[in-house]
Structure 1
Amino acid sequence: MTDDTNDEAFENSPVDIDSSKAVEYTTEYGEEGSKATRNPEDDLSQTFVTLEEKEGIPFDEIQEDPILREIGNTPLVAHPENEQIVAKVERENPTLSHKDRIGPGMILGLRQMGELEPGQRIVEASSGNTAGAVALAANRLDHPCTIVMRETTSPVKVGFVKALGAEIVTTPDVGHEHDYYYQTVAERYAQEHDAVYLNQYGRPLNRHIHYEWTGPELYQQIKNDDVTHIVGAMGTCGLLTGVAEYFKEVAPHIQIVGVDGEDSNISREFHDEELGDYNVDVEGLGQWRVSASANLDVMDDIRSVSDSIAVSRAKHEAADNGMLMGPSSGAAMEVAQAITQEDDDANVVTFIHDGAEQYFHEVDGW
């Protein structure tokens, strides 16, 4: 990152910033022991050069589009039942999830890095929210798009992809060791069709988008509050570890707590436990391995939640508190609630990662 301030880029940053409310912090730079006072808002004024240098995604192209610029600036909503919790409602994005951020972010980032040509076909593997997010971004940024999905994918998520004009390739619901595993098929399809595989699981760019965008946005919303914890579900781990990287620079006292599935290897690896079989039914929660888009070194804790508790918490929040969320967000809310029970002084921000309507067809008919 750089200390230079670029006013034009700052004005086109993906979140609206009140520059009169800058909060200074101190961090180490240069030689050992040297210090520099930095303004976190400077991080939104970068222009993209290389990922390794941690400089910014060209978000100005998002701001220029009347649809894509509706992504982000998602609200914080106070929990009706627990005054120690606020939720960042990512379902307010156009395709109803936080994945809307990585759709255009990965396309624009790969263009800037020289790995994707304008108008070139893009391919992504997703049986979740990324499918619709990428389809939307491809639609607006003029890329033909193919989404490889498991045949068991939610019909609502399939509907997003079809409505936005993307091609769908379906695969059997098989494990990662199989030739027809959906991520393997996506990589092979891209190679055979002169296309670029976005690969949300295999690119640190996924995490970096949240470092550049979601982290600063959330910081501006909470910087004057006494927040003690940020909680979110982990799948690719891009969202939470990207946010964690940013907060370790600007507010390291805030604990970043990830939420994994009960039979998943993300938490096992974090806690140096023996890895085992992945057996989680909740979409978007956990993985059979820690993806290359993750950085577990910046996490303070990762807790596991069972499928049944994730679903029951999501149902409770809808029925009793009017808060609609999917089961992975229910898992995150369960951990947020637990933290407030453990510590009367805790103030927790948790993510509502997506909407509940994507799951009504499958969670006991909801």
Structure 2
Amino acid sequence: MEESWLPCGEVNLSTPLNVTIRPINLTLGFIVQIFKAQVNEDKGLRAKDVALPVFWGLIVFFGVVGNLMVIIVILKGRQLRSTTNVFILNLSISDFLFIVCTVPFTLIIKLDQKWIFGDVWCKVMHYSQYVSCLLSIYTLVVMSMDRYLAIVHPLSSVRYRRVRYASGIVAGLWPIILLMMVPVLLGAKVVGADACDLGYLVIPESKNCLLFNSKEFVVVFFALAYALPLLAIVIMYALMLKRVWTRVGLGVMNDTSRNKSKRKVTRMIVVIVAVFGLCWLPLQVYLLVQMVDSTFGREEWQQVLLYVANALAYSNSSVNPLIYAFFSVQFRRSFMQVFSCCSGKPTFQHNVIDFGEPGTVAGGATRHTVLKRGSSLEETPM
């Protein structure tokens, strides 16, 4: 989601220059006044032109590098070994797609105020944007469902919480979401004064200003891509907490490595979901407010809010790799190994990141890592 839903032409309405220029009365003083007004406008734009590329450039850099590292680290192993890895891989691919296909082009729109990439890429950008957004949230839903089964039904769900089932779920998500977003692919087009937007959802108010015009789409997308998935996740974690408290009351819980690993994975997914909800909340609220009040978004402070809301939403795809690194020692080690693979130092040959708990999904409580140089064999507890 991006600003093209909203007024995409920034026009300074505070100091309009409603002047009829005629050669006979174009005095030197009048020229000086115009020059001063233009300089003031350029100063305002100059701050934005510097701040936006720097901040959004950081989002693109960390998003591309971080998610690419996660993809490489997971695929580098002989096997994924856990359902959580399958979902994390899919989430990283979705985040990578979102960063590459959306953020740079949205930044260009913000700075240049027009679309220069043609009708085809306009469709591709919007389509990939909505697809990756839905893929991210529903990947979080199935990750939470996996946690629910692991904690509430640990024994009966073992046969279903396997890599092949997780891979099948992920493979099923893609065609479903791709088909769901076909209307976006068909409707996105270049409209107005070289503006890229969903043509069937907007109406041109003026040459440089497009207003969102479909309340139904805003409500449906808010429900499907934000409210309902997060509600389902909250319900599942509430049931998990209830089960955990029941076990504690009965004195069943213990501090075995399996239970510790389960809790660690669960905490990681809770943080990922919470960050997703917080990052996307301002933009979702902004769109809902503008749905109610079509004039919202024209004031300068409202446009600043839009910049901040977009930045928060887009940064979500960049922070997930940091969350993985924070919760997984193995990920941090493998992350460093990828960077040092060309340094001539010993690197791990078969390193597999496993966020799954031992003895259930991953299939074992230890991991064997073979060094390329030397014949020593390490056993690292998961």
The TM-score with structure 2 as length reference comes to 0.23
Larger Rg: 2
**Greater helix content:** 2
**Greater strand content:** 1
Greater relative contact order (Cα < 8 A, sep 6+): 2
